[in-house]
Amino acid sequence: MDRARAAGIILHLTSLPGPHGSGDLGAEAYDFVNSLARARQGIWQVLPLGPTGYGDSPYQSFSAFAGNPLLVDLRELAMHGWLTSGELEGVPDFPPGTVDFDSVLPWRMQQLRRAHERFATSGHTAQHDDLAAFRQENADWLPDFALFLAIKREQGEVEWTRWPAEFAAREGAALDRVRLRLAGEIAFHEFVQWCFFRQWRCLKRHANSVGVRLVGDVPIFVAHDSADVWVHRELFKLDEAGRPLVVAGVPPDYFSATGQLWGNPLYDWDRLAARGYHWWIRRLRQAIALFDLVRLDHFRGFASHWEIPAESPTAAAGRWMPGPASSLFAAATAQLGELPLIAEDLGVITPAVVALREEFGYPGMRILQFAFGDDPEAPNYVPHNYVPETVVYTGTHDNDTAVGWFRSEAGAGTTRTAAQIARERAHALAYLNTDGREIHWDMIRLAVASVAHLAVYPLQDVLGLGTEARMNMPSTTSGNWRWRLSPGQFHGDHERRLRELAETYDRGLFTVRPHP
C-alpha cells in the first residue's frame, strides 16, 4: 500500500444531502469529493455499499457483490429519458436530516421500475449492449442475485428458508420454470445493478482525478438471508433446512456486557480451503476493482472467530474457533497480487492476530476514543505508541461522535462506570492539553499529527455534532444508519480548518493510477 501521509473522512453515501430522501451517486457526491480536494483530504471512506436487509445495515446485505439500489442517482436516469421531470419533482415530504428507509426505499424502487420499463422500450442499442456486457462480466453472481430478489418478492419478502422447498433447495427444474415466469423481474434487478455500477465507476474516476482515494469495506460475514448463502449453502455451517447451526458475534466488550450477537452464519473454512478459497477471492477481486483501498472488517476473525450456538440469546455463550489465518491471504495474494487492505484489528487482539497482519504488511487501525480509559488495550491506541503502518480514527461508524463520547454518561451505550468515565475524560484533557471546548477538533488534530500514514474521522466529528448524529450503535437492531448531512452544513470554514491541519502535518492528495 502507498505509504504517503494522507487524511480523510468517513461518510456513508446515504448520509449525503439530495432531493430524494437519501444520499446517492448524484451531484452531491461529486460536490463532496470536490470539497475533500479543496480541504486537502485524500481519503473518502464510504462503508459497505451493498443492498441492505435486516435493520437497514449495510453489514446485513442481500449480496456480498451487489450495489444498493437506494444509491442510484435518479437524475442521471432522467437525463437518458427513462424518468420524467414531473416524476422526480413529485417527491414525498421526506424528513430532513435523516433517512427514513421505510418510505424512501419503496418510492425510489417505484422510480427505478419506471426507468427500467422505458429503458426496455426506448434505450439505445449501445446501452443495451453495455448492459449485456455487464451481465456477462458479472455472470458469477448477478443472475443468482437477480433470481433471489425476484423469488423473494414473489414470496412476500420472507427469508429464503421459508420459501417452497424446491426454491429453497435450488432444484434445477423448479428454478428453470421460475426464471421464465419471473423474467421481467429478473431483468429489472439486473438493470438496477448496471445503473449502480455505471454510476459508481464514474464517481470513482472523478474522485481519483482530483486526488481522492475511495476506501471501501468488505464485511467479513454475510447475512443469512442473502443470495450468497442461498446459492452456496455448502460453504456455511447450516443444518439440513439451511438454518445456521452457529452464528457470529464477539464476546463481552466496551460496547456490551453480554457481547455482540450479530447472528450471521459462520463459514465452513475447511470446505472453503478445499475449494481454493474461490468465493472469497472473487469477493476481494471485485473489492479492489471498485475501491482504491479496502477496509477488511473484523480482521481478527480470520485468525479466530467467536462461535455462538444459534439458539443462544446472547453472545456470552460463545467460544473462540480457528479461522483460515494465512492460508486465505496467501491464496488471494498469489492470484491477485499485493492486496490494498486495511486490517480492522479491533477487539480482543492476540499475538496470532498481530502476526497475521504483519505477515502480509496490512496496516492496522487505532481508535482515539479507546486511548484514554482503563482497558488493558488502551496503551495500544495512544498515539505515542503508534507505528507508521497504521490508520488512526477519532472514531468509526460504530462509535459515538467525539463530542458525544466526551460528554457521555454511565449506562448510555457503554459498559464504563461514572468513575471510569471521569478518569478517561481527565486523561484525555491532559493528553490533549485542552479545555475540551472543541474536543472534536482536538481529536482530529491529534489524529492528523500522529505518525500514522492515514488519519480518518467521521464527518460528524468535523461538524462537532453530539450523540444525536451517531451512525450506529453496535448490538442494537433499529434506529441506526439514519443520520444525514443537511445542505450547506459542511462548508468553507470546515474545508479551511481541515486544509490547514493537512498542510501543517504534511498530509495531502494522491496521484491515483487508473485500475487496469
What b/e readout covers 395-423, taking b as 16+ CB neighbours within 10 angstroms? Answer: bbbbbbbbbbbbbbeeeebbebeeeebee
Cβ atoms of 36 and 44 closer than 8 Å = yes
User: What is the grid cell recorded at 155?
Assistant: 414470496
Which residues lie across from 218 on neighbouring strands? Answer: 296
The rounded distance, in Å, linking the Cα atoms of 194 and 188 is 10
Cβ atoms of 70 and 52 closer than 8 Å = yes
The rounded distance, in Å, linking the Cα atoms of 11 and 459 is 6
Q: Considering only CA atoms, which of 301, 326, 170 is closest in space to residue 247?
A: 301
Which residues are catalytically annotated?
Answer: 297, 344, 398
Which residues lie across from 322 on neighbouring strands? Answer: 304
The rounded distance, in Å, linking the Cα atoms of 283 and 287 is 6
- Cα–chain-centroid distance for residue 200? 15
The rounded distance, in Å, linking the Cα atoms of 420 and 425 is 9
In sequence order, what DSSP letters do the residues of 177-213 get, joined into one string?
HHHHHTHHHHHHHHHHHHHHHHHHHHHHHHHHHTT-E
Query: What is the identity of the amino acid at 217?
Result: D
Q: Where are the alpha helices (DSSP H) in 65-182?
A: 74-79, 85-89, 101-122, 125-137, 142-154, 165-168, 172-181
Four-point Cα dihedral 126, 130, 136, 141, nearest 10: -150
Residue carrying the nine cell digits 451481465: 135
Q: CB neighbours of 376 closer than 8 A, spacing ≥ 6?
A: none
Q: CB neighbours of 468 closer than 8 A, spacing ≥ 6?
A: 404
In sequence order, what DSSP letters do the residues of 481-515 get, joined into one string?
S-B-PPTTSS-HHHHHHHHHHHHHTT-----PPPP
Other CB atoms within a 10 A radius of the CB of residue 136 amount to 9
- Cα–chain-centroid distance for residue 250? 18
Which residues lie across from 304 on neighbouring strands? Answer: 322
